Structure 1
C-alpha cells in the first residue's frame, strides 16, 4: 500500500502496532525499524509536521513509551548501525541511504524520544559519530539530486546538502554509486 493510499490515523495505528509487537516479543527487533519507516511516511503525508492536538500528543507519548521497551531499543540500535555503515560508504554508494536513515533517526529524536536514553550503552554517542562521518565524507560524496531529497525535511537535516561537490557530473556520480558493480569489471 502506498503512502498516498493511507490516512494519518491509520498509519499511526500501524506504527503503534509495530512497536507493540516489539514489546510483546523481546526478540522481535524489527518493530521499531518498521515504525521508523512508517513515521517517515507519516511525515511525508503531513508535509513534515504532526498536528498539535490531543490525539497526536497521545500518539507521541505512546510511541515514546513503546520505543523504550522489549526488542524496540535493539531495533533502534540496528537502525543506527545501518546508518553508520552507509555513512562509512558515503564517498561511494552509501551517502543517499545514510541520509535517509539519519533523517528517520532525527525525526524520532525530535518528536518522540531521546535516542541516547533508549539505545544500549555501547551505542550511545553513535549518532554524533554518524554526523562527524557524514561531514568527513562530504568532501568527496556524490551529491543527492535535489529531486531525491524529501520535500518535507526541515533545514536542520543538513546532511542532505553536505556534499561539497554539488556540481559533480551525472557520470561521475553514477561511477561512484555503482563502484562495486564497476570494480569487478576492471
Structure 2
C-alpha cells in the first residue's frame, strides 16, 4: 500500500520557481495499477475495515484531490482504451474501468472529486462498452481476476469469439 501512496505522491503537481506546473502522469498511472493489486490482496485477506486500510483510503483520497488533473487524464485514457478495444483488446479498458469504480465505491470522499465531466466520461465509456462488448473478443475466463466483483459487468461483457480461439 505504501507503493501506491508513493506513486500518487510522485505524481502530484509541482510548481517550479517560474510558476510552471509539472505533473507526473506515469507515476499516477502506476499508482492506479497498484490500487488493483491492493484490491487483490483485500479480496484474499478480507480485512476491509482495519484502521490501517481506513487511513490508507483516506490518504489516497487526499492525494487524488491533489491529482485531479491526472485523474481526469486517466478517465479520458480509460475511455480511449475502450474506443480502441477492437484493435487492442478488452483487458485494458476493463482494468481501467474497475480501478475507477473501486475508487468510487470503496474510497470515501471520491464521489466529491468526480465532477459532472468525469461522470459524463464514465457514462460514455459504459455506454460504449455495452454497445461494443458483443463485437469485441472476450477475455478468457482464466484471465479475469478472481477479485473482480459481479458488479463490474464489463469484464464479461465482451463475448465475441474469434475462429482461431475456438477449441483452445
TM-score, shorter chain, exceeding 0.5: yes
Equivalent of 1:156, from 147, 151, 155?
A: 151
Cα contact 2:61–2:110 (8 A) shared by 1: no
Q: TM-score by structure 2 length? A: 0.80
Structure 1: which 4+ aligned runs deviate by more than 3 Å?
113-117, 119-124
1:17-57 CA-partner distances (Å, limit 9, x unpaired):
22222336252242432211111111123326553111111
Deviation at 1:123, TM superposition (A): 3.9
Match of 2:49 in 1: 52
Is 1:147 the equivalent of 2:136?
no
1:46/1:116 CA distance change after superposition, 3 Å: closer
Deviation at 1:73, TM superposition (A): 1.3
RMSD: 2.4
1:134/1:114 CA distance change after superposition, 3 Å: farther
Deviation at 1:99, TM superposition (A): 0.8
1:24/1:134 CA distance change after superposition, 3 Å: closer
1:47-98 CA-partner distances (Å, limit 9, x unpaired):
26553111111111111111101xx112111211111112112334242211
Please list every run of 5 or more consecutive structure 1 residues that lacks an aligned counterpart in the other structure: 1-11, 174-186
